A = this chain, B = another copy of it.
Amino acid sequence: MNQKVSDIFKANKIKNTVQRQRVYEYMTSCKEPITADTLYIELSKDKSFDDIINLSTIYRILELFVKHNLVLKNSFGNDHRATFEMNLREHKHHLICVECNKITTIKGCPLKTYEKDLGDLTNFKILEHRLEIFGVCPKCQSDKNSH
């Protein structure tokens, strides 16, 4: 059992279970957002545990982590499935390849001053924004050219 993870659970009043440990640890190792069923498949591959975590348990754990702000939930582009990623508490955006659906995380943001101007203009209290940029990744560009 990873001591650090159980401490995080304790701090959030989240009961410590094997399943939650496994989901948390796998999520931490992910560099990009992941869907619930991909997570299910990946965790099922791990032979160091005898049993497979039930998919509905994975959904329940992910929603719990989202509720505690440990994890962020999104959905991108054409893919209507939700994706999840650890909440690193940094402002970022996603660059999504329209061919292969690969998601690349972009740090930094060009919108700080724009939000202020927009708030002044519309009298909305601006809270946050979501920016997704769509394009074709280098790999898919070269795959296309070779046909």
Contacts and interface: CB of A to CB of B under 8 A. Distances in A.
Interface of A: 75, 80, 82, 95, 97-98, 104, 106, 110-111, 114-115, 118-119, 122-138, 141
Nearest to A73: B78
B124 A114 contact: no
Residue picked from A98, A122, A128, A133, most chain B C-beta under 10 Å:
A133
A71 B111 CA distance: 28
Contacts of A127: 98, 134-136
Nearest to A113: B110
Given A104-B122, A110-B110, A127-B136, 10 more contacts: A106-B118, A106-B122, A110-B111, A110-B114, A119-B135, A124-B137, A127-B134, A130-B130, A130-B132, A130-B134
Given A110-B110, A122-B104, A134 B129 contact: yes
B141 A135 contact: no
Task: Give how many copies assemble into the complex.
Answer: 2
Contact of A123 (B80, B106, B124, B138): B138
A24 B95 CA distance: 32
Contact of A122 (B95, B118, B129, B134): B95
A95 B124 CA distance: 9
Contacts of A129: 131-134
B134 A128 contact: yes
